Structure 1
Amino acid sequence: MSEPTDEFSFLPEQAADLGVAGALPRGERVDLTLGDGRNLSALRYSPDGADAPPAVTFLHGAGLNAHTWDTTILALGLPALAVDLPGHGDSSWRDDAAYVARVLAPDVAAAMDAWTTGPQLLVGQSLGGLTAAAVAASRPDLVDRVVIVDITPGIDPNGGAAQLRQFFAGPTDWATRDEMVERALAFGLGGSRRAAERGVFHNSRRRADGRFEWKHHFAHLAAAAAADPDVAEAAAARGDALSAVLGESGWQDLAEVTAPITFIRGDHGYVTDADAALFHERVPGAVMEVIASGHNVQEERPGELGRRLRELAGKH
């Protein structure tokens, strides 16, 4: 596939596909050095080039990056911040590989302290949704509404998410990005070929030896576990224990959120009807909505999601 000139080069074709007319938002990458020396990276979008503070902050899911929100942000039409969670995109990997909501929340709060002014509409999908709840619970001053997309603390890890683990456990390096695109399409990921090409470009990097690798840490962790049965067994045991503990802490975070909560799920995403019913039982004040989509609603139905988020941000 042809290499774009910069990371925002895809925006014109995404806007055309979406039917969004007019000037494109100005996109810029911003970086923050955290207290322990790690880098936290994000994308800031300003409609019409205006230097306005973000009104909406976005958190992506496991194995993705901030660019997953590009088309949704085009439909949104508001100043926005999209964060590369630790271990993803251009943000540093964690030495402890602790990519769980309560550990990630302080880093997200630091990003919002640095790059936003005033309470935000905080939107998170999958891992980002659980992290958004943890941020809203611990830093209510940063959040005026939370939108959680296709995730619950009690989701079955052996459901749709198991496909992602299999995908991550593949090779960690490739001769070309086209090979990475083919693997994504073989797993039913990425949507159209062109969308998969965009996703692979944003989610991979060329190493010094000329080969390409996934940017996110999960692929390297999954591949190591797949290559060593002892590592895999230990990881599985850890995962079973963590699922129980983190599931309950996720429900606790949601119970402590004082901002309004909107829960959006795909009608054929990872959240089952039983998962949704449990969410409604545990978080009775949440507004529940369904979109005709799979798990990555922001990529499959970006126009519909962006317009709904604009409404939730109080802009019509």
Structure 2
Amino acid sequence: MPELDEFSFLPAQAAALGAPVPTVSRVDLSLADGRRLSGLRWGDAPPAVTLLHGAGLNAHTWDTTLLHLGLPALALDLPGHGDSSWRDDAAYVARVLAPDVVSALQTWAAGPQVLVGHSLGGLTAAAVAASRPDLVSRLVVVDITPGVDPSAGPAQIRAFFAGPTDWATRDELVERALSFGLGGSPEAAARGVFLNSRVREDGRVEWKHHFAHLAAAAANAAQDDTAAHPAADPTPPDAVRAVLASTGWDDLAQVEAPVTLVRGERGFVTAADADELRRRVLGADVRTLSTGHNAQEEDPAALAALVREVVTDTAL
């Protein structure tokens, strides 16, 4: 049996949708400070759409959405995720990440992009659009606003990433994900684990993304502090909270491109959050899908249809 690689799952995914198997290749960019930014190029033509994933995910979170979309696209691994380098300062906030995305667009895109960002990727996309309006024709933000309270997210996700940071096999990690009710079917969980983990030189398996390691360190520090100070608040710091800087509203206010917010009915963005975005970003279009936070994985067909509509409107 041939050894699996990151593209081994695409033929079965495409067949399930009745879609052709696209040309997908990994691209890498060496940044000025020596870090690497990585991504996936879909199709042979210059991308019409660039997509940024959320915290703890990677470019492959968009695979099924892009199979439905059928357009040339660029899906990036944000710094600290996927095959992109971790940041030594662990500064995974939108305005810090945005310059790397700008470098990617200048290198791989032939013109202004429909820029789609989920969660952390959405805030980063807003920072990109605010700082470089010449690179962004439309902004689509998926289930995030700067006012969202990340503690409203599923507690099991935070507990899951606050656990061990390495395992003997990927099967152990799949079992852990399923025990937390994550990953969907066993097959989907196995695919997700394969694409979001790596085997170290010592043979142990670890998450590719830095957030799992930061969350575990924060949880351990909180436990140590509670042991030393029993009266202290035992709640561990939320590694995701740091990405929701108030500057996100400033970025959105400076975006010149039309803005679309896609919220999941069971996601992080409430109706009140959406109303706040409408108030602050005049003319913003708000769409609601029957999904949770990860709309690109829960209803990729609906999200792809919405993105296609935006691309078509932009081309008119």
Does the alignment reach a TM-score above 0.5? Answer: yes
Count how many residue pairs are aligned between Structure 1 and Structure 2: 306
2:143 corresponds to = 150
For the aligned residue pairs, the C-alpha RMSD in angstroms reads 2.2
Deviation at 1:303, TM superposition (A): 1.2
Per the alignment, do residues 15 and 271 of structure 1 end up closer, same or farther by CA in structure 2, a change over 3 Å counting?
same
**1:109 lines up with 2:106 in the alignment:** no
Equivalent position to 2:272, from 271, 274, 278: 274
Deviation string 1:248-286 (CA, Å, 9 cap, x unpaired) is: 200000000000001001111111222222222222311
**1:98 lines up with 2:91 in the alignment:** yes
1:9 corresponds to = 8
Per the alignment, do residues 130 and 237 of structure 1 end up closer, same or farther by CA in structure 2, a change over 3 Å counting?
closer
2:22 corresponds to = 25
Q: List alignment gaps of at least 5 residues for structure 2.
A: 227-232
In the TM superposition, what are the counterparts of 1:51-66 in structure 2 within 5 Å? 51-66=44-59
Q: Is the 8 A contact 2:165 2:213 kept in 1?
A: yes
1:138 corresponds to = 131
**1:283 lines up with 2:243 in the alignment:** no
Paired with 1:227 and 1:89, the residues of 2 have a C-alpha distance of: 24
**1:125 lines up with 2:118 in the alignment:** yes
Paired with 2:252 and 2:218, the residues of 1 have a C-alpha distance of: 31
Deviation at 1:185, TM superposition (A): 2.1
Paired with 1:142 and 1:127, the residues of 2 have a C-alpha distance of: 19
Name the SS for the 1:158 alignment partner. helix
Aligned partner of 1:208: which letter? E
Q: Is the 8 A contact 2:165 2:207 kept in 1?
A: yes
1:188 corresponds to = 181
2:296 corresponds to = 298
Deviation string 1:117-165 (CA, Å, 9 cap, x unpaired) is: 1000000000000000000000111100000000110111211165432
Per the alignment, do residues 237 and 155 of structure 1 end up closer, same or farther by CA in structure 2, a change over 3 Å counting?
closer
Aligned partner of 1:95: which letter? D
Name the SS for the 2:287 alignment partner. strand
Q: Is the 8 A contact 1:161 1:270 kept in 2?
A: no
Per the alignment, do residues 139 and 27 of structure 1 end up closer, same or farther by CA in structure 2, a change over 3 Å counting?
same
Name the SS for the 1:197 alignment partner. helix
Paired with 1:143 and 1:91, the residues of 2 have a C-alpha distance of: 22
Could you tell me the TM-score, scaled by structure 2's length?
0.91
**1:210 lines up with 2:203 in the alignment:** yes
Could you tell me the TM-score, scaled by structure 1's length?
0.91
Q: Is the 8 A contact 1:4 1:10 kept in 2?
A: no
Per the alignment, do residues 204 and 133 of structure 1 end up closer, same or farther by CA in structure 2, a change over 3 Å counting?
same
2:230 corresponds to = none
Q: Percent identity?
A: 66
Q: Is the 8 A contact 2:218 2:237 kept in 1?
A: no
2:312 corresponds to = 314
Q: Is the 8 A contact 1:204 1:214 kept in 2?
A: yes
Name the SS for the 1:201 alignment partner. helix
Q: List alignment gaps of at least 5 residues for structure 1.
A: none
